[in-house]
Copies of this chain bind each other. A is one copy, B any other.
């Protein structure tokens, strides 16, 4: 099968006059409003402020947008997916807060701001993460409307799996265990990224499909799309850690090299890594051909992942 190159994809996107920037801005705006409303400050204020500090600190809202875009592609209206979209961002935020803790990556900056524990202390940061994780599930179960309950349960089950030891947490553990080792195998590297980044991106896409009532066949297409862009996303992340400036990225950079971490560019070099990311995205997009023009947002998002510079 001929892989569509990133340039072809960009051309396709341009040809169709699909404007990703406007699309992203409008979807991000909807997410910001929903997130702002989802978590009003109440007593005890400290914990809500800490949760909101990290949750509402900008960010690309990639996971919520993937969820909403997939739901729409499958013929659902975005209202049915918005609680799940918000929950995905809550969980992503939880993982960042806990990752940044001194006992983990010990990061002082995130998205250009001080990390949660630098502002609120480690104890509150741990609890803010726990609170966001628990609230994510409450929010989906409480707020999702006009969707058969069986589908909501499926989303909750898959989301729990994507976050736990079989997903994000498991990836994080293997990542921690690999620290300081310069002989990490490609298999281990793939495991880390499939779980640490990939699992949540996959459920972001899948959940939109499940809520909209996608068939099993289409869910499998969505899985492949999501797994590929997840891996591409991580490869680009590794490249950016080498090439981007701290100002642009908004977080500490060069940490991988300092930690002598095995990454895709350290194994293959930057050029081959970039090419691989492009191939992965092209294959991802080929899976969505069947959805025709409705797939434009997801195609453009895939391209966005490999062309982003922060």
List A residues at the B interface (Cβ < 8 Å). Answer: 42-44, 46-48, 51, 94, 98, 101, 103-104, 121-124, 126-127, 129-139, 141-142, 148-150, 152-154, 156-157, 159-161, 163-167, 169-170, 172-174, 176-177
Contact assessment for A44 and B174 in the assembled complex, using a CB-CB cutoff below 8 Å: yes
CB proximity of A59 to chain B, nearest CB, Å: 20
Contact assessment for A156 and B141 in the assembled complex, using a CB-CB cutoff below 8 Å: yes
Take A44-B177, A133-B133 as given contacts and tell me if A142 and B126 are in contact as well, using a CB distance cutoff of 8 Å: no
- Copies per complex of this chain: 2
Contacts of A121 in B (CB 8 A): 103
Contacts of A47 in B (CB 8 A): 165, 169-170, 173
> Which of these, B139, B153, B170, contacts A141 with CB under 8 Å?
B153
Take A51-B165, A104-B126 as given contacts and tell me if A134 and B160 are in contact as well, using a CB distance cutoff of 8 Å: yes
In the bound assembly, the distance between CA atoms of A129 and B126 in angstroms comes to 10
Contact assessment for B137 and A160 in the assembled complex, using a CB-CB cutoff below 8 Å: yes
Main secondary structure of the interface of A (DSSP, over half): helix
CB proximity of A170 to chain B, nearest CB, Å: 5
In the bound assembly, the distance between CA atoms of A172 and B121 in angstroms comes to 14
Contacts of A154 in B (CB 8 A): 141
Contacts of A104 in B (CB 8 A): 123, 126
Given contacts A44-B170, A135-B160, A135-B164, 6 further A-B contacts (CB under 8 A): A131-B170, A133-B133, A141-B154, A141-B157, A141-B160, A156-B156
Contact assessment for B164 and A138 in the assembled complex, using a CB-CB cutoff below 8 Å: yes
In the bound assembly, the distance between CA atoms of A141 and B157 in angstroms comes to 5
Contact assessment for A127 and B44 in the assembled complex, using a CB-CB cutoff below 8 Å: no
Take A51-B165, A160-B134, A161-B138 as given contacts and tell me if A46 and B103 are in contact as well, using a CB distance cutoff of 8 Å: no
- What 5 pairs across the A-B complex have the smallest Cβ distances? A138-B160, A103-B122, A134-B164, A141-B157, A149-B149
In the bound assembly, the distance between CA atoms of A170 and B131 in angstroms comes to 8
Take A44-B170, A160-B138, A165-B48 as given contacts and tell me if A94 and B153 are in contact as well, using a CB distance cutoff of 8 Å: no
CB proximity of A136 to chain B, nearest CB, Å: 8
In the bound assembly, the distance between CA atoms of A173 and B45 in angstroms comes to 9
Contact assessment for A123 and B138 in the assembled complex, using a CB-CB cutoff below 8 Å: no
Take A44-B173, A124-B176 as given contacts and tell me if A133 and B135 are in contact as well, using a CB distance cutoff of 8 Å: no
Contacts of A177 in B (CB 8 A): 44, 46
Take A124-B176, A126-B126, A156-B141 as given contacts and tell me if A131 and B46 are in contact as well, using a CB distance cutoff of 8 Å: no
Residue from A48, A167, A170, A177 with most neighbouring chain B CB atoms (10 Å): A170
